[in-house]
């Protein structure tokens, strides 16, 4: 089980974060980035899972700049609220908040980042623009296509579903064309949010394979 802490950014913003320490000696740090539903129980569970795999893990509450402590479910009204809240954040604000989380867990060693949905885009943004990062794994990041011209500074892997209503295969192909050197895994019969057990799109097999690849990626680049 983790605990809630407060982070401070270089622009003077203070945000909450959920941080979980492993029981064994840490292998390094992992920053876990939320979906558009905030740092809810699902994201805390994911953070705990990375901690159980030996990493000091942290999930920064990126929505705190718009509304403190926002946690949403997965209904239509929650989706709309999350979409509106995400729209209130600039890329520079997101980068500053993520950098604060990276700095917090960098005392554990090398740091990786993983994100889901909105967080998948944020993980790509961090790979291209944050410092003190060693690896990134993105899960169904819809905004990646628009930023495919950016260049990552660390090793990255992409994880997408072949049945994602928000990220068509044509966009995935264009991402692959822009970055042919980056491993891009596309999972059969997997829709958007296939790693969230609280969503109808949850696909246990795809999620397991994607996390196995993510852990192997982190093991190679972090420890």
pLDDT at 168 over 90: yes
**Residue linked to tokens 């296939």:** 194
CB 162 within 8 A of CB 190: yes
| Per-residue confidence (pLDDT) for residue 1, from 0 to 100 | 76
Q: Is the pLDDT of residue 90 over 80?
A: yes
In this prediction the pTM is 0.97
**Count of domains for the chain:** 1
With a cut of 80, say whether residue 141 has pLDDT above it: yes
Phi first, then psi: give them for residue 31, nearest 5 degrees. -100, 125
d(CA 156, CA 84): 28
Quick check: 2 and 20 in contact, CB under 8 A?
Answer: yes
For 42, counting Cβ atoms within 10 Å of its Cβ (0-12 exposed, 13-18 middle, 19+ buried), the class is buried
CATH of the domain at 13: 3.40.50.1820
Q: What is the DSSP letter of 38?
A: B
Tens of pLDDT, residues 185-218: 999 999 999 999 999 999 999 999 999 999 999 9
| 3 state DSSP class of 18 | strand
Average pLDDT, the chain: 97
Supply the range of the domain harboring residue 120. Answer: 3-221
């Amino acid at each position: 089980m983790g605990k809630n802490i407060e982070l401070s950014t270089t622009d003077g913003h203070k945000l909450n974060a959920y941080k979980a320490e492993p029981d064994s000696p840490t292998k390094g740090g992992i920053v876990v980035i939320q979906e558009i539903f905030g740092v809810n129980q699902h994201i805390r569970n994911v953070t705990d899972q990375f901690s159980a795999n030996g990493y000091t893990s942290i999930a920064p509450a990126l929505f705190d700049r718009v509304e403190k402590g926002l946690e949403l479910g997965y209904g239509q009204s929650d989706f709309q609220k999350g979409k509106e809240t995400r729209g209130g954040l600039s890329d520079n604000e997101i980068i500053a908040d993520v950098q604060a989380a990276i700095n917090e867990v960098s005392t554990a060693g090398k740091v990786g980042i993983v994100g889901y949905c909105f967080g998948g885009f944020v993980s790509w943004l961090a790979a291209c623009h944050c410092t003190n990062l060693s690896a990134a794994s993105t899960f169904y990041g819809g905004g990646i296509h628009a930023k495919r011209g950016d260049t990552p500074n660390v090793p990255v892997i992409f994880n997408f579903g072949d049945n994602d209503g928000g990220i068509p295969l044509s966009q995935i192909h264009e991402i692959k064309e822009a970055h042919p050197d980056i491993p891009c895994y596309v999972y059969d019969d997997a829709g958007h949010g296939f790693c969230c057990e609280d969503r109808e799109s949850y696909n246990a097999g795809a999620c397991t394979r994607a996390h196995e690849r993510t852990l192997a990626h982190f093991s190679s680049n972090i420890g």
